[in-house]
Amino acid sequence: PPPFLFILFLSVSVSVPLKSVEVELEVRDHVATVVSTLNYENKEDKPLEAVFVFPLPGDAAVCHFSATIGQTQIVAEVKEKQEAREEYDDALSSGQQAFLLEESEQSPDIFSLSVGSLPPGESASIRLEYVTELAVQADDGLRFCLPAVLNPRYQPQGTETALQVPVTSVPASLVPYSLSFSARVSSPRPVSKVESNCSLDPLQYLNPEQTQATVKLAAGHKFDRDVELLIYYKDAHQPTAVVEAGQASAKPGTLMGDPVVMMSLYPEFPQAVMSSVASCGEFVFLLDRSGSMGQENRIGSARNTLLLLLKSLPMGCYFNIYSFGSSYQHIFPKSVEYSQKTMEEALKTVEEMGADLGGTEILNPLEHIYSQPCIPNQPRQLFVFTDGEVGNTKEVISLVKKNSGSHRCFSFGIGEGASSALINGLAKEGGGHAQFITGTDRMQPKVMQSLRFALQPAVVDISVTWDLPKGVSVTVLSPPITALFQGQRSLIYAQLTGESSKAAEGCVTVKYSLAGHPSQNQLHFSLKPAEDTGLTVHRLAARTLICSLEMEEKERRGEQDEGVKKKVVEVSVQSGVSSVFTAFIAVNKGDGEAVQGPLVRRNVPTSSDCPTILMSVSQTSLSHAFYILTFAPGTNSRSKRALVGSDWRINLTYMFLMAGTAPKQTPRDPLLQLVSLQKASGCWVLDPALAASLGKTSEEVENLKLASVNQEVWATILALIWLHGFKVDAQDEWQLLAMKAVSWLRCVEAGNALLGCNVQKDVLGL
């Protein structure tokens, strides 16, 4: 049927005082310092209060906030949150200019910036600085993400609101302010390359050794996606230690007054252990089926990924698949043994999954999964796929941490605007690994990398010991290491108290057990402080300590929580790093006249990741626009009536655009077609479907088969040759299922050769 059409007159706020955002990034090895300058101008005839809710990386340490009005600069202080809010309100009521920056109480990757009492014709420049660690990707690249997209977070009924002010999201084409972005990269090792999901100007090296380089966004960048940089160094897997001197004005014995060391460890595991793949485990897959997963056919990509995962599981393991939206479903009442029958039943259900379950409530299915008893000798591995539009982030992460002893959690953030706090928090507290899939990224290679991690033997009995000169003591600021993976970095922050000679050295030893083999890695380091590091390491260490204390406070809420909260505020104020219990406050207490007149609030919109079904017919200004809205076939009448009858504002476009619709069915690519035909045991069957997926006729395939080779062996050999011959560039995706096929071949051929028989596997009941 033809789509339903109607024209809607859309009224939008007439003024957006935020005019431009300028971002300067400095990367030193694997640490990033980001300086954002937000330029405001009031072109109205009344004084304004501008409120901007925007995303930041979830593990960022916000460490500086200042405002410049004319020639006057006001540097903000960190204060207890309620005290800061009251000071801000008092300033506005008395006609003073004030600026407030605070973190969401539910998710540490959302901040609210309030710019108060901006008089008519006045301009203000806001400077925001934060530092963050760069995560290592599966291909050894270091990932930096500048979040530009903030999708509204789904708030389950009965929970607290994430922020006091609403998130105002608009399609990227309507964001009325510009973004400029430049980066400087430096490292002890040469910079191999810098890649991005956005168009970049060519990389410019600053020295012959190629250890310093600059890069910036190409002209004409649209505010339609998160800006992602992947930075590659030569010989990146080198353990390092950076000792940073304390702040001269701070008291010795305090976090900011003492030196702090940042250890980057890359454990190398014995090759003999790493070449083996676990043949057991309970694999639980949790798939987001909220309406927003219908964008860019995310749900279709997730279905294809589940196909690869199910084909790659080892015989003898157990599995189950959950999906969730406003409610949740599971394919089996409890995890079942992996077999041809259970695999086929699961795949049939997966094929019918759409983005049709409404909101994003992940807590209930997680609680159900954790309520299921673990299967003896089958370590539980949880894979979570979500676009991260969750309002109760901290509650979800706390639940995963509470159950961290029973499983490992591997998380995948899908699409623009996925919450970094949620995705990284799930993996960190669940002892697993986090991946982000944005833009045109294929989901499958990253997910299969995590499956290889999950099939690695779990590292247990992890301990860290320090050997320091006499007179020097150590206070570890990081939580205990709970997971180690081959080639993946582990970070430790520690405070060093006491005096030592400049030539003194320390040593840290990480001991652990892997598949029953005791192992250890050591790193010797100089205690002499590095130069020109500022207080970056201290601020990252403070943020790490604050996050640990906040998690402890949430777990102990209702019993002695005030002591932990007091400690968080103390560390936050001392270090100048944001926390959930503090805020940055700046007040212009100059001699200028008080701002006169009633204050008008303007919520500054941020970019949302909306599908392009909004078609502009005429747009004369930002204040008024005509749109044609096209409903996809199958959109229910209730959704249409709700839209027509609502008092539309631009921040509510998301409610319509996120309505779950069935994704278009596209022809399956040849690789997935071949993979779909593989049996749970690892073999293929010689039939017309296999021949077609290989691009041959049944006669061509069968005529070349040797009489002494059984049909399944021949079919499996053909499939493996096709994979190696035509899809070697996608080897990361099919490597595990190919290993299973080779193992099957070896078993059948070896047995028949030994006994001189030609018995097929189905005869044996396998």
| CATH classification at residue 487 | 2.60.40
Task: Tell me, yes or no, whether 540 lies in a domain.
Answer: no
pLDDT by residue (tens digit) across 255-285?
Answer: 999 999 999 888 777 777 766 666 789 999 9
238 by DSSP, 3-state: which?
coil
Write a three-state SS string for 269-324.
CCHHHHCCCCCCCEEEEEEECCHHHHHHHHHHHHHHHHHHHHHHCCCCCEEEEEEE
Write a three-state SS string for 482-499.
CCCCCCCCEEEEEEEEEC
- For 330-335, the CB contacts below 8 A with 24+ separation are 330/365, 330/368, 334/372, 335/282, 335/284, 335/372, 335/375
Query: Please, what is the average pLDDT of the chain?
Result: 82
Task: Tell me, yes or no, whether 662 lies in a domain.
Answer: no
Indicate whether 221 pLDDT > 80: no
Same domain, 77 and 216: yes
- Nearest Cα residue to 318 out of 362, 382, 367, 275: 382
Task: Tell me, yes or no, whether 553 lies in a domain.
Answer: no
Same domain, 34 and 58: yes
Q: DSSP letter at 200?
A: B
Spell out the residues 6+ positions from residue 642 whose beta carbon is closer than 8 angstroms to its own. Answer: none
pLDDT by residue (tens digit) across 524-558?
Answer: 999 999 877 789 999 999 999 999 998 887 766 65
Same domain, 303 and 270: no
What's the one-letter identity of residue 725?
G
| Alpha-carbon distance values, 77 to 84, 578, 644 (Å) | 9, 10, 47
pLDDT by residue (tens digit) across 587-613?
Answer: 988 766 676 656 677 777 777 665 433
Same domain, 432 and 494: no
Task: Tell me, yes or no, whether 242 lies in a domain.
Answer: no
Across the range 163-179, mean pLDDT stands at 67
Task: Tell me, yes or no, whether 495 lies in a domain.
Answer: yes
What's the one-letter identity of residue 358?
G
Which pLDDT band holds residue 748 (cuts at 50, 70, 90)? low
Same domain, 445 and 465: no
pTM: 0.80
The tally of domains found in the chain comes to 5
Same domain, 419 and 470: no
68 by DSSP, 3-state: which?
strand
Q: Which domain holds residue 22?
A: 18-236+577-594
Q: What pLDDT is recorded for position 676?
A: 94
76/374 Cα distance (integer angstroms) = 50
Same domain, 220 and 365: no
Domain stop point among 528, 548, 567: 528
Indicate whether 158 pLDDT > 50: yes
Task: Tell me, yes or no, whether 728 lies in a domain.
Answer: yes
- CATH number for the domain spanning 356: value is 3.40.50.410
Least confidently predicted of 253-262, 427-436, 465-474, 704-713: 704-713
Same domain, 750 and 702: yes
Same domain, 191 and 264: no
- For 344-350, the CB contacts below 8 A with 24+ separation are 346/310, 346/319, 346/321, 347/306, 347/307, 347/310, 347/676, 349/321, 350/303, 350/306, 350/307, 350/310, 350/321
Task: Tell me, yes or no, whether 241 lies in a domain.
Answer: no
pLDDT by residue (tens digit) across 291-349?
Answer: 888 887 889 889 999 999 999 999 889 999 999 998 999 999 999 999 999 999 999 99
User: Are 525 and 261 in contact, with CB atoms under 8 Å apart?
Assistant: yes
Task: Tell me, yes or no, whether 568 lies in a domain.
Answer: no
Same domain, 341 and 399: yes
Same domain, 431 and 470: no
Across the range 202-215, mean pLDDT stands at 94
- Higher-confidence residue of 48 and 755: namely 48
Domain stop point among 510, 528, 546: 528
Same domain, 145 and 284: no
Across the range 570-595, mean pLDDT stands at 87
- Higher-confidence residue of 562 and 275: namely 562
